[in-house]
Amino acid sequence: MRFFKYESIGNDFVLLETPDAESQNLSDLTKTLCDRHFGVGSDGLLVVDPSANPVTMRMFNPDGTEDFCGNGLRCAALHMKLERKATESLTLLHGGQLIPIQFAFGDWIDVTLPPASFDPEQVPLAPGVGEVFDRSLVVDGHSLTVSSLTTGSTHTVIFRESPVTDEEFRSVSPKLEIHDWFPNRTSVIWVWQTGAKALSIRIWERGVGETLGCGTGSAAVAACWFRKHSGALAVEIRNPGGETVASKGLKGSIIVSARARLVYKGVLTASLATATS
């Protein structure tokens, strides 16, 4: 089975094409391939069908759960350009939504995500919680001001005056991920301002743990920033693994721009390709 290893702002993925993977239990295969000691090692598995019209992409977290992924979309688009000679723009079908992608100046790739939503049912939030925007919440003895929304995936954004400490990040993030407010769990994005139009973030992804980059998380931060600063058109968001720029698109969409690259490609051994956890 052929595989490809891609990376965008430090978020790395194993990518398989169908029909190579169509006979596999993708949840079990994901757990095997994402293992950094006994598998290939990655933050997730991408499964792309290049023959579909439009091209489809599925993404699985290392724990085998399926999710929506902005950086995965960027990597899948680059794959289509490198391996399938895609033109300067294409549309991918992911999570039941059509996602326009543009190859921009240099090696930047623009992913246009649908409008963010703070609607409690769409996030989703537990019944009776209501909208969560700049709401107070105490987790593990830490007082937080949080905003929860979906940008295709559920995120809780925490704005701070200064960088989060290692102790707070590691104690609060996993507990907030599984808090009663979030029936499907939540990723946790810690944010602090580093310039007039620049933010830095630290990321705890649901089903993954700490990661170096998150496309939908960057979009979630931008959506909160734009709601707080209605006149803003764009904001730089520094992920630990690299720079992104998020800007307002048409009809409330958010364009997340960043770089991606092919790291290597190879062939899985039969024993690894058929292993399950």
DSSP string computed for 44-79: -EEEEETTSSSEEEEEE-TTS-EE--HHHHHHHHHH
Select from 264, 266, 261, 203 the least CA-distant residue to 7: 261
* Sequence letter at residue 231: G
Is residue 69 part of the annotated active site? The answer reads yes
Catalytic residue among 34, 69, 75, 224: 69
Let me know if 224 is a catalytic residue.
no
Catalytic residue among 34, 75, 214, 224: 214
The torsion angle over the Cα atoms of residues 187, 197, 223 and 215, rounded to 10 degrees, is -50
Contacts of 192 (CB under 8 A, 6+ apart): 159, 160, 161, 162, 163, 164, 199, 200
Q: What letter would DSSP give residue 262?
A: E
Beta carbons within 10 angstroms of residue 206's beta carbon: 24
Sequence-ordered strand ranges (E) for 95-153:
97-103, 108-113, 135-139, 142-150
User: Which are the catalytic amino acids?
Assistant: 69, 214
